[in-house]
Amino acid sequence: MEGLAGWMYDHRRRPRGRGSREAHDPGAPAAVWRERELLGGEHVDALVAVLRTRGCSHERLRGGCTMCGYASDTPAEPPTEELLLAQVRAVAAQRRDAPWVKLYTSGSMLDPDEVPQGVLDAIVGAFGDARRLTVESRAEHVTAERVRALAPRCNLEVAIGLESACDAVLEGSVAKAMTLGDFRRAAADVRAGGAALRAYVLLKPPLLTESEAIDDAVEAAAAALSAGAATVSINPVNVQAGTLVDFLGHRGQYEPPWLWSVVEALRRAHALAPPGAQVLSSPTAGGTPRGAHTCGACDRGVLAAIERHRLEASPRALDAVEGCGCKDRWRAQLALEGLMQGPFGPRGYRRL
């Protein structure tokens, strides 16, 4: 897997700084929006923002992960600290009374080369009164000292992308440049630093069958929970431009997971969660051909059940999903695809 993924990725990825990025205002965040969340048993508004930084160190140094296209949000010239502070102020101006603030970058909030300490201090100053402040980081940038420098001043949650608990998948399918051991070390540092841990798990990275992908996601959720994650988010892969996943999709060698697979992974992972821990999913581009989807007729209903599960933290929400004939096609794919080479069904198999 490593050779195939590496060859395709290296030959299909557009190089940095050669016209692959659109012009962006480096003093404005890449995106700001609001969403509903479950916090302490209460439905609240969460302010979500993506800061435009110099980008992910893994993408800069090694080309990034096979499914990640967030480099397109990275300016060709790294923003100065003052520009980053201007972005923080712009996000704060839109907060209003949101009790939960999620601040992301296209890389790692705890990477000092990407987000200087002065910017982190400004973030805590602006949002330290929030009931929860969520930031994200790759495992290699997480240390107990960096977490401890922030956590006493806010109710901090640190999110880390585990993606898979299988090192072979992490290396050959995701190109994560991380091992399960690296995640476990970072998870321990998050908890030692006084913050809560959120883990992201992929559903169906490239080169896995649908059935393998479900098993892999459940195994990763179990590993994250055992490492102390209070929240595990199962993220079905969506096809982002300029990635290996996009390249394989154009060749007919990759399709995003079924929404039925999301439901199955949630059911199985939810059953493993200890009291107080939450397993959820919020499929990006769900119901579209580039995201997790079903036959087109039942997408909306399945997505609504997944959303209810996220906001109610109850598996009963998934039990309420109405049946659809396409679920039989999904079951057939799970049973038969491992006996074949290449994609299970012809184009149109899922959406007749």
Could you tell me the residue ranges of all domains in the chain? 2-339
* CA dist list (Å): 173 to 35, 203, 205, 231, 266: 31, 12, 6, 24, 22
Q: What is the pLDDT of residue 47?
A: 98
305 contacts: CB under 8 Å, gap ≥ 6: 263, 317, 318, 320, 321
302 within 8 A of 259, measured Cβ to Cβ: yes
Strands of the chain, DSSP E = 31-39, 42-50, 100-104, 132-136, 156-163, 196-203, 231-236, 278-280
Tell me the whole-structure pTM to 2 decimals: 0.92
First-to-final CA distance of the chain: 31
Q: What is the pLDDT of residue 264?
A: 97
**pLDDT one digit per residue (tens) for the chain, 352 residues:** 444 545 444 544 444 333 345 567 778 999 999 999 999 999 999 999 999 999 999 999 999 999 999 887 788 788 999 999 999 999 999 999 999 999 999 899 999 999 999 999 999 999 999 999 999 999 999 999 999 999 999 999 999 999 999 999 999 999 999 999 999 999 999 999 999 999 999 999 999 999 999 999 999 999 999 999 999 999 999 999 999 999 999 998 899 999 999 999 999 999 999 999 999 999 999 999 999 999 999 999 999 999 999 999 999 999 888 789 999 999 999 988 877 655 566 677 888 6
- Report the helix count and the strand count for the chain, using DSSP H and E: 13, 8
**DSSP 8-state assignment for residue 258:** B
pLDDT of residue 18: 34
Q: Which two tokens stand for residue 262?
A: 């999301």
Question: Would you tell me how many other CB atoms lie within 10 Å of the CB of residue 335?
Answer: 11
Query: Which pLDDT value is given to residue 19?
Result: 36
Looking at residue 252, its pLDDT comes to 87
**pLDDT score at 341:** 59
Residue labelled with tokens 């897997």: 1
Please give the Cα distance from 327 to 341 (Å, whole number). 22
Helix (H, G, I), strand (E, B) or coil at 247: helix
76 CB contacts (<8 Å, ≥6 apart)? 16, 17, 21
Q: What is the pLDDT of residue 2?
A: 47
- 2-339 to CATH, choices 3.10.450.50, 2.40.128.130, 3.20.20.70, 1.10.3720.10: 3.20.20.70
DSSP bridge partners of 201: 163, 234
* Cα 268 versus chain centre, distance: 19
